[in-house]
Amino acid sequence: MRIILAGFGTVGQALAKVLTQDTKRIVQSYGFQPQVTTIVDSQGSCRDEKGVDLSLALKTKEKHGTIAKYPGSGRRSNDSARMISESDAEVVVETTPTNFKNGEPGLSNIKTALSTRKHVVTTNKGPLALAMPALIELARHRNRQLRFSGTVGGGTPFLDFAAECMPGERIARIKGILNGTTNYILTRMESSSLTFQKALVEAQKKGYAEKDPTNDVEGFDTAAKIVIMANWILAKSFSLRDIDITGISKITPQKLREVQASGAKVKLIGRIDESSASVGPEEIRADDPTCVPGTLNALTFSTEHAGDITLIGPGAGGERTASAIVRDLVSIRKEYAV
């Protein structure tokens, strides 16, 4: 399985490490060898049709800050869409930054990959939040797979659970915490009476929040995950503009204390039901299974016959997300002899 890796940051490098460690096990267990033939970052790319040496790629990135310095084939071109279209690799793994304005560069990468009959594994929510129905249609039309396990829940298989473990069951509603950064901030505001700003700075120092935290704290990240689940699990053609979104930046420690006194906690909750979808701070009973602390994520699936089922797990992190990518690669292999 030849792979083009677009994006070589936290997730892309974690994937390279996992593949370096696990390729032998993947070959033995699943009968295929994932081989990265192209890597692209914001400053350049490298290519080796026999397989990029991933340990060398990681060392090069660490030393020079870009894969463009990869010995032999490194170059300053980062035109990922062109490289995808010209390559005969079977799979594109898309890990460029999430962009909710126009989805780029991920949107062009995914469209080009599917149009040139390559399977896609993406951890990038931007293109899905903006154009998921069209991308699913394109994948169907081209008879290729578009997989995105790492976009919701990192390594925790929320999407796979709902799509694959409940055949014959109808999931009517989904609600829960889908963003570890905001959950950490709210937890710290409540437990130590911190202001939103102080808790945010602490989250940034710990590496949980990005330098520009807007997508997390204003609810866009959670909303994108809601869009993905609405389309994938509930077959609703939603995009970001269909979600009613409120963030957590206006919450005060006083409000959290008042709510705590009544046996509840304020959490940033994403929810989808039959006809609507929303993201916003909600008061959740402390004994509700989705009321989890810190960076954890928790989702309750309300099913017609099996009742409410809640899954809890770590929501993000490079290595966990890389594990979701490997799951998707194995699924592609199982479905198609690529």
Ligand X SMILES: NC(=O)c1ccc[n+]([C@@H]2O[C@H](COP(=O)([O-])OP(=O)(O)OC[C@H]3O[C@@H](n4cnc5c(N)ncnc54)[C@H](OP(=O)(O)O)[C@@H]3O)[C@@H](O)[C@H]2O)c1
- One symbol per residue from 301 to 330: x for binding ligand X (CB under 6 A), - otherwise; what is it? ---------------xxx--x---------
As measured in angstroms, the least distance from the Cβ of 79 to ligand X is 8
Taking the complex as a whole, the smallest distance from the CB of residue 331 to ligand X amounts, in Å, to 17
Packed helices 180-192 and 196-205: angle between N→C axes, nearest 10 degrees: 120
Task: Determine which residue in the list 37, 87, 96, 231 makes contact with ligand X, applying CB under 6 A.
Answer: 96
Q: Which residues contact 316 (CB under 8 A, 6 or more apart)?
A: 154, 180, 295
Task: Please tell me whether residue 41 binds ligand X under the rule CB under 6 A.
Answer: yes
* Number of C-beta neighbours around residue 235 at 10 A: 7
State which residue, 114 or 128, has the beta carbon closest to ligand X: 128
Question: Per CB under 6 A, which region of 4-12, 164-172, 233-241, 246-254 contacts ligand X?
Answer: 4-12
Member of 4, 11, 256, 299 binding ligand X (CB under 6 A): 11
DSSP single-letter state for residue 308: E
**Residue 5 contacts ligand X per CB under 6 A:** no
The one among 37, 38, 60, 95 contacting ligand X by CB under 6 A = 95
For the purposes of burial, counting CB atoms within 10 Å of the CB of 71, is it exposed (0-12), middle (13-18) or buried (19 or more)? exposed
Three-state secondary structure call for residue 35: strand
The nearest distance, CB 16 to ligand X, in angstroms, is 11
DSSP-derived letter for residue 97 is P
Look up residue 30 and give its amino acid. Answer: Y
DSSP letters, 275-294, are S-EEEEEEEEETTSTT---T
Q: How far is CA 12 from CA 4, 267, 299, 301, in A?
A: 11, 30, 26, 30
Look up residue 115 and give its two tokens: 């149009």
Choose, by CB under 6 A, the member of 37, 60, 80, 149 that binds ligand X: 80
Window 135-174: residues binding ligand X (CB under 6 A): 150-151, 154
* Catalytic-role residue among 225, 236, 255, 267: 225
Collapsing DSSP to helix, strand or coil, 116 comes out as: coil
By CB under 6 A, the count of residues binding ligand X is 29
CA 115 to chain centre: 22
The residue among 96 and 300 lying less far from ligand X, judged by its C-beta, is 96
225 is catalytic: yes
CA 288 to chain centre: 25
Nearer to ligand X, 240 or 264 (CB): 240
- Interface residues with ligand X (CB under 6 A) are 6-12, 40-43, 66, 78, 80, 95-98, 105, 123-125, 150-151, 154, 316-318, 321
Residues identified as active-site: 225
